[in-house]
């Protein structure tokens, strides 16, 4: 499981460019399912036929894309200008390493040196417009041999196991969800299962709306990597989730309100199977449930998340037990659906 998580998190998959992640997932799940297809927007949808007679359509959803950058211009001195893709705090960018394009050209995010800044500049957070990517060349002509306008860039961040069962990696949001769906497909279920690995979540939940419209599920479960704020400087009552306390069940966020019956079913499943869980306290943000629950005539939808610190950065952190318990909760929930 750890080896696959490493492969998934280190792959390139900025919104609109999920091909590398999709190829890894497709290879993993092909022996596990009855049918795989890729829709027009790029979602990977896997169908696993249920063993029961009166079957429902259950949709599991996790997005393949991650936040990153797109190259917008090349300066005469060979520096690359870029725009962020998805929500990234500019304060985490300075001096970070990146890989650009299919060939993963190495680069460094830079700004004007502090020695050259005016006192007023030093007091303000650096804006993306002030930054550039340095790929170690000195002219536009040299840069154009390596990089094209429209190339995507990802954080250059290897997955690392450290501390007390912790994982550091980029793109835990939402490669933890992708891994959960892959593991869930290894089981047999009474109901028909549709594992939907979606695209472009970070730029507007776009793939999920298309997938839900096509599948027409009776029930949908979105599996996410979510904010974990149990860190120094944050009052305990402001914790959205707590690392090590199990998967987080969402009641409401900025994009959807989870179906009450499904929330109770998730809680009952955790209680019955001895799987720890927590209720997500924060209500900000959103995920693919925002588009799924309003598809066609409406879909009963719920969200289960793995708590991840420092989300949308090159060094997000999670607890491996939280991931394992998320996988177990999702599998047992689907098995127990009536």
What residues contact 73, with CB distance under 8 A and at least 6 apart?
Answer: 80, 81, 149
Q: Give start-end residues of each CATH 2.40.30.40 domain in the chain.
A: 68-155
Q: How far is CA 204 from the centre of its chain?
A: 13
What distance in Å separates the CA atoms of residue 194 and residue 36, rounded to the nearest whole number? 10
pLDDT confidence of residue 285: 83
- pLDDT of 159 strictly over 90: yes
Split at pLDDT 50, 70, 90, the class of 118 is low
Average pLDDT over residues 162-186: 97
Model confidence at 113: pLDDT above 70: no
Tell me the average pLDDT across 83-107. 94
Third-level CATH fold of 68-155: Elongation Factor Tu (Ef-tu); domain 3 (2.40.30)
Phi and psi, residue 257, nearest 5°: -115, 120
Task: Please state, in angstroms and rounded to a whole number, the distance separating the CA atoms of residues 153 and 143.
Answer: 15
Mean pLDDT of 182-188: 97
4: nearest Cα among 33, 28, 32 = 28
Please list, residue by residue across 7-26, b when 16 or more beta carbons sit within 10 angstroms of its beta carbon and e when fewer do.
bbbbbbbbbbbbebbbebbe
Q: Which tokens is 263 given? A: 């929330």
Contacts of 170 (CB under 8 A, 6+ apart): 9, 10, 66, 154, 155, 157, 313, 314, 315, 316
Whether the ω angle into residue 174 lies within 30 degrees of 0, i.e. cis, is yes
Fold of 2-66+170-335: Aminopeptidase (3.40.630)
pLDDT at 54: 81
Active site residues: 201
CATH 3.40.630.10 residue window(s) in the chain:
2-66+170-335
Residue 209 and residue 59 in contact, taking contact as beta carbons nearer than 8 Å: no
pLDDT in tens, 207-231: 999 999 999 999 999 999 998 987 7
Is the pLDDT at 115 greater than 70, yes or no?
no
35 band by pLDDT with thresholds 50, 70 and 90: very high
Joined together, the tokens standing for residue 8 give 């998934």
264 sits in which H/E element: helix 260-273
Question: Torsions phi, psi of 192, nearest 5?
Answer: -70, 130
pLDDT at position 213 is: 97
Each residue of 235-264: pLDDT tens digit? 666 678 999 999 999 999 989 999 999 999
Q: Can you tell me the distance from the alpha carbon of 53 to that of 115, in angstroms, rounded to the nearest whole number?
A: 72
Residue 31 pLDDT > 80, yes or no? yes
Where would I find the beta strands (DSSP E) of the chain?
35-38, 44-48, 57-63, 68-74, 80-85, 97-100, 105-110, 132-134, 152-155, 160-162, 166-169, 192-198, 219-227, 248-249, 278-279, 300-308, 316-319
């Amino acid at each position: 499981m750890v080896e696959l998580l490493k492969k998934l998190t280190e792959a390139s998959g900025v919104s609109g460019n999920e091909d590398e992640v999709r190829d890894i997932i497709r290879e993993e799940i092909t022996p596990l399912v009855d049918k795989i297809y890729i829709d027009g927007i790029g979602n990977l949808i896997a169908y696993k036929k249920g063993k029961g007679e009166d079957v429902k359509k259950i949709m599991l959803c996790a997005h393949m894309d991650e936040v990153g950058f797109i190259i917008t211009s090349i300066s005469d001195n060979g520096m690359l200008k870029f725009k962020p893709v998805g929500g990234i705090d500019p304060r985490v960018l300075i001096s970070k390493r990146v890989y650009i394009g299919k060939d993963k050209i190495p680069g460094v995010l830079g700004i004007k040196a502090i020695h050259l800044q005016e006192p007023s500049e030093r007091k303000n957070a650096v804006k993306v417009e002030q930054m550039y990517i340095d790929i170690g060349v000195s002219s536009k002509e040299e840069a154009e041999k390596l990089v094209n306008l429209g190339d995507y860039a990802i954080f250059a961040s290897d997955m690392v196991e450290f501390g007390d069962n912790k994982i550091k990696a980029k793109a835990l949001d939402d490669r933890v969800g992708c891994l959960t769906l892959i593991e869930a497909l290894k089981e047999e279920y009474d109901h028909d299962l549709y594992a939907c690995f979606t695209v472009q979540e970070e730029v507007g939940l776009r793939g999920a709306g298309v997938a839900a419209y096509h599948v027409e599920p009776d029930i949908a479960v979105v599996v996410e990597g979510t904010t974990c704020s149990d860190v120094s400087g944050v009052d305990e009552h402001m914790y959205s989730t707590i690392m090590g306390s199990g998967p987080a069940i969402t009641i409401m966020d900025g994009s959807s309100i989870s179906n009450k019956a499904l929330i109770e079913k998730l809680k009952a499943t955790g209680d019955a199977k001895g799987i720890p869980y927590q209720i997500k306290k924060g209500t900000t943000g959103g995920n693919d449930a925002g588009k799924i629950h309003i598809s066609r005539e409406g879909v009963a939808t719920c969200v289960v998340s793995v708590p991840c610190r420092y989300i949308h950065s090159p060094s997000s952190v999670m607890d491996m037990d939280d991931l394992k318990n998320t996988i177990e909760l999702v599998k047992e929930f689907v098995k127990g659906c009536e």
